[in-house]
Amino acid sequence: MNYTLLMELVSEIGCRIAVGGGETYRVEESVNRILTAYGVESRVYSVPNSLIITILIPGQAPMTQLCRMERKGTDLDAVEQYSNLGRRICTQIPDLETAMQWVKETEKKRKQYKLPTLLLGYVLVAWGFSIFFGGGMMDSACAAACGFLLGVAEYFMGKLQTNVFFQNIAAAFVLAFFAYGMSELGIVPNADASVIGTLMLLVPGALFTNAMRDIIFGDTNSGVSRVVEALLIAVAVALGTAAAWNLNVSLGGLPQQVDAIAHSPAITCFVSFVACAGFVIVFNVHGYGSILCALGGAITWGAYCIASALGCHMLMCCFAASCVAAAFSEIMARVRKYPAISYLLISLLPLIPGAGIYYAAQQAIRGNMDLAADYGLETLSTAGVMAAGILVVSTAVRMWTTHKRNKESLQKKE
């Protein structure tokens, strides 16, 4: 067997899944399964920016390869395509040259949204979440414009290979300064809703979700690494927003402050669907599964509204809704034979505490440290109960899957 080519095959597939935003256990499991299918014993270790693979060759020294990876955002189509390719290889076990050809064919048939469609995704996310967080028609129109500006800014900064930390500061500054300026001119009544709605594009929801799943499955190093990265992005977003606020104040005074509109559950569920449909584009999901992903966001928020109507505390509502999102993603993964991560990431987005991050930063700017701490603790509590909801469902599914697998093994032996 050509062990060098085998190593190239598994490292290519593993890296593609990881760079697209796949969880650590998915990367390691995909590599291990392929190597096991070819009868090779292996040791695999993955963290967000590196993949280490060791194969044990009978009668020879072990072969090890280290792959450094540069993540450029979330690409769920890559996770789905290469995860499915890994299953196909394990099922058919082709010769290595054919398997490498399949990798090339998979890369060729992968889809990417064009820039105009990508910008539409940014607009839908900002528009939908602006209304979701209590904005009106003018606020959501401003948010849509901010989303467009943010998409353009991120596209060109990405082309220039700008540092991610600076990119988030600059993007947050541009969108917040525009919204505050519109508020100062009297065009936008509730600038906060416009800013929060657009900031949902920058809030590291995907990183947070993957971090929680990594920690749940025992990949603590990867989980902690993702948590730190998520915190750095949140700090960058807060710094950019703070700079825009201070500049606007120095130029013309404080933006208008109005109460958020209390929209009905039907409206918030609808705009959740629209915003999640925007994230379907931003996260590069294709096919009719993209509609199911967006529907998952509406179902998740519907579960939250039902729990709230029953008198549950906000954290209990979050826990119940995250359980529904996790259950929905596991069901869809088994029905459609696609990774659960696509459904989970997008379904959880209405629960991501974007407003809490924004208001914590805003109160800190104003010197109200007690209020900032309250918002910060509320945000962390929300994140914690979301993780607990995912943990409960994921653990139950894994226990059921293991029991089913063990039962099938016993039946085969009999």
Does 205 have pLDDT greater than 70?
no
pTM (2 decimals)?
A: 0.85
Q: Which comes out higher in pLDDT, residue 399 or 88?
A: 88
The mean per-residue pLDDT over the stretch 203-231 comes to: 74
How many percent of the chain have pLDDT more than 90? 29
Of 34-48, 232-246, 356-370, minimum mean pLDDT range: 356-370
Q: Which comes out higher in pLDDT, residue 212 or 152?
A: 152
Does 337 have pLDDT greater than 70?
yes
Q: Which residue has the tokens 């979050």?
A: 318
Residue 413: per-residue pLDDT: 63
Tell me the one-letter amino acid at 99: A
Question: Which residues, 6 or more positions from 53, have their beta carbon under 8 angstroms from its beta carbon?
Answer: 7, 10, 11, 14, 31, 42, 43, 44, 64, 65, 67
Does 405 have pLDDT greater than 80?
no
Q: Which comes out higher in pLDDT, residue 281 or 134?
A: 281
Give per-residue pLDDT as tens, 62-105: 899 898 887 777 888 888 899 999 999 999 999 999 999 999 99
**CA distance from start to end of the chain:** 34
Q: Over the chain, what is the mean pLDDT?
A: 85
Give per-residue pLDDT as tens, 4-40: 899 999 999 999 998 888 888 889 889 999 999 999 8
Q: Which residue has the tokens 């948010």?
A: 143
Does 357 have pLDDT greater than 80?
no
The mean per-residue pLDDT over the stretch 50-56 comes to: 90
Domain ranges (residues) in the chain:
3-109, 115-399
Residue 257: per-residue pLDDT: 67
Of 282-296, 316-330, 397-411, minimum mean pLDDT range: 397-411
Surface-to-core class of residue 240, CB atoms within 10 Å of its CB (0-12 exposed, 13-18 middle, 19+ buried): buried
Taking a C-beta distance cutoff of 8 angstroms, is the pair 296, 346 a contact? yes
Tell me the one-letter amino acid at 244: A
pLDDT grade for 250, boundaries at 50, 70 and 90: confident
pLDDT grade for 255, boundaries at 50, 70 and 90: low
Give per-residue pLDDT as tens, 146-158: 999 888 888 888 7
Torsion of CA 85, 89, 92, 97, to 10 degrees: 110
Does 162 have pLDDT greater than 70?
yes
Backbone φ and ψ for 53, nearest 5 degrees, come out as -125, 130
Apex 335 CA angle, 329 and 341, nearest 5: 30
Tell me the one-letter amino acid at 269: C
